[in-house]
């Protein structure tokens, strides 16, 4: 089955291995970025693969790495990226459970702090990557904008330990 855009891997990394994992993943030809996170996942790695078979192979490869405890794969149904991307000191990933992923994804594109929107499958069917100047702006984006979109049922937000790109 074809995958139309970047898919996301959220990884749990063994203690003391995050730097090694980031270095290894940044060198992988199918990984477009690797970011350390705060929250239930230690890293996010957007990947550029074009089929579910490639996703399955990459998941097996990553789970076989000595640094990996586990990974959750969110295959992309569609991916939107702001060009040029907003670059700010704080970056975060909001995992969104939506009743209507298409309309929520479309509404997210109108929020100026959102850089990427992924429609995926699973518990969280929309993922938004955002960049903000300070924590107050992150709060405003999450609580004042994203959570007020019709169809957003629940959000879980993971702050990135990397500067936005």
**Into how many domains does the chain fold?**
2
* SS3 label, residue 17: coil
* Domain span holding position 40: 7-74
Query: Does residue 107 sit in the same domain as residue 155?
Result: yes
Does residue 87 belong to any structural domain of this protein? Answer: yes
Mean pLDDT value of segment 52-81: 95
Here the CATH number for the domain that contains residue 128 is 3.30.70.920
The CA dihedral of 63, 64, 69, 72, to the nearest 10 degrees, is 0
* pTM to 2 decimal places: 0.92
* pLDDT of 163 above 70: no
Mean pLDDT value of segment 57-74: 96
Does residue 2 belong to any structural domain of this protein? Answer: no
Closest by CA position to 58, among listed 86, 35, 28, 83: 28
Closest by CA position to 104, among listed 125, 123, 132: 125
Asked which of 40, 59, 74 is the last residue of a domain, the reply is 74
């Amino acid at each position: 089955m074809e995958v139309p855009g970047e898919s996301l891997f959220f990884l749990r990394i063994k203690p003391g291995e995050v730097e090694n994992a980031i270095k290894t993943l940044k060198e992988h030809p199918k990984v477009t970025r690797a970011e350390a996170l705060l929250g239930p996942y230690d890293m996010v790695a957007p990947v550029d693969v074009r089929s579910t078979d490639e996703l399955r192979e990459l998941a097996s490869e990553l789970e076989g790495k000595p640094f990996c405890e586990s990974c959750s794969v969110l295959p992309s149904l569609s991916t939107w990226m702001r060009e040029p991307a907003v670059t700010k000191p704080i970056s975060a990933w909001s995992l969104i459970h939506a009743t209507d992923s298409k309309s929520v994804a479309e509404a997210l594109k109108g929020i100026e702090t959102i850089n990427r929107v992924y429609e995926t499958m699973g518990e969280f069917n929309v993922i938004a990557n955002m960049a903000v100047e300070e924590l107050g702006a992150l709060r405003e984006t999450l609580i004042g904008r994203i959570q007020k979109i019709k169809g957003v049922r629940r959000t879980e937000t993971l702050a990135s330990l990397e500067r936005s790109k």
